[in-house]
Amino acid sequence: MQDVSGILKEGFLVKRGHIVHNWKARWFVLLQDKLLYYKLDGGRKEPSPKGRIILDGCTITCPCLEYENRPLVIKLKTKTNTEYFLESCSREERDSWALDITGAIHAGHPVQVQQLHRMKNSFKLPSNISLNHIVDKMHDNSNGIKLTSNMEQGNTYKESFTGSALVDWLISSNFVASRFEAVTLASMLMEENFTKPVGARSTEAMRNGDLADQFLDDSTALYTFAESYKRKLSSREELHLHILELSGTIVKQGYLVKQGHKRKNWKVRRFVLRADPAFLHYYDPTKEENRPVGGFSLRGCLVSALEDNGVPTGVKGNVQGNLFKIITKNDIHYYIQASSKAERAQWIEAIKRLT
């Protein structure tokens, strides 16, 4: 049996396969010198790890921009040049994993770890600002950012804007108070795949800059909206769903394990809890498209923890505790598993506030 004393962090991440490049949710355990990952069988973690990533000599890339539809990916490259792509459920989770993995890689170099902490702590988005809201405002026909044709080194970039134009717009729209804050916010929009650099100057800065130097407040650096944002609002039906159900403020999100309604099998899903209107949506993290596979209004819902002794009624399979149940207004029962008692309590508390 694997010795897993000295666990630094554990939780779900979605991993890209080596041979077939499909994405699978795995339970990751970070130790001082390695990262172990486990398959889930039923609702239970298998006893032996499916694989391990040796951290000695590993390099980490965060954010990793190789997957346009997966902006929350961390890339690890081992000493033997094996690449691992791991996706988190939120920006905060991704940064937390990146920080802890980097800490384990540089365990013998405390100065680097301190620098990393400083860098992460200086790069925070105010809690009252939603990136989706900012991008929607940028698209506004009358007050949004003006898209123009710009030339750089003989190439014309249609529907683009300059770095300094975006900084000016963020300040004049009262999202930030200073140019420094605007550059930080513009970097986040790019990092989360809402905008992208076009032309040599801005692309070069993103590749080679530090996290805080990737966006240029400059009238010669060009940017545009990322394709993934345009695609998200393609069909009228999706727009309708997007505006109503998905317009609420995200209160909480994370990976949980859910029992299927028909086959009663257990699958890892990314749950997103929104307020005003209060909805709980869940997404298949193995799929590319950012569209919920299910969801329901929380109005009139009942939520409760299930006893950990024995298998509760309605639950199938080899589950290992930390279960809770949500009963909707239409009497549909959802059985969900958290990874710990504390996480279960947090989710129940957050949902109860919105019912």
CATH number for region 131-228: 1.10.10.10
CA 81 to chain centre: 25
The mean pLDDT value of the chain amounts to: 83
Q: CA 196, CA 193: separation in Å to the nearest integer?
A: 7
- Is 256:335 a contact under the CB 8 Å cutoff? no
Q: 224 by DSSP, 3-state: which?
A: strand
User: In the chain, what percentage of residues exceed pLDDT 70?
Assistant: 84
Looking from the CA of 321 toward its CB, the CA atoms found within 13 Å total 8
DSSP designation for 218: -
One of 2.70.170.10, 2.40.440.10, 1.10.1750.10, 2.30.29.30 is the CATH number of 7-108, namely 2.30.29.30
d(CA 230, CA 195): 10
> Are 37 and 16 in contact, with CB atoms under 8 Å apart?
no
Maximum C-alpha span of the chain? 70
Rounded to the nearest angstrom, the gap between the alpha carbon of residue 142 and the centroid of all alpha carbons in its chain is 31
- Work out the average pLDDT over 123-127: 53
Q: What is the pLDDT of residues 152-188, one digit of tens each?
A: 888 888 889 999 899 999 988 888 888 888 888 898 8
pLDDT digits (tens, 9 = 90+) for 10-30: 999 999 998 888 899 999 999
Q: Decide if domain 247-353 falls under CATH 3.90.25.10.
A: no
Question: Is 19 or 139 the better-scoring residue by pLDDT?
Answer: 139
CA 253 to chain centre: 9
How confident is the model over 97-107, as pLDDT tens digits? 998 999 898 87
Q: Quick one: pLDDT band at residue 307, thresholds 50, 70, 90?
A: confident
In angstroms, rounded to a whole number, what is the distance separating the alpha carbons of residues 213 and 87? 24
* 3-state secondary structure (DSSP) of residue 242: helix
Q: pLDDT tens digits for 63-120?
A: 787 887 787 899 999 999 999 999 999 878 888 899 899 989 887 565 555 555 555 4
What was the pLDDT predicted at 75? Answer: 94
pTM over 0.75? The answer is: no
Per-residue pLDDT band for 205 (boundaries 50, 70, 90) equals confident
Q: Do domains 7-108 and 131-228 have the same CATH topology?
A: no
Per-residue pLDDT tens digits for 221-266: 999 998 654 444 444 555 555 567 777 788 899 999 999 887 788 9
| Structural domain boundaries in the chain | 7-108, 131-228, 247-353
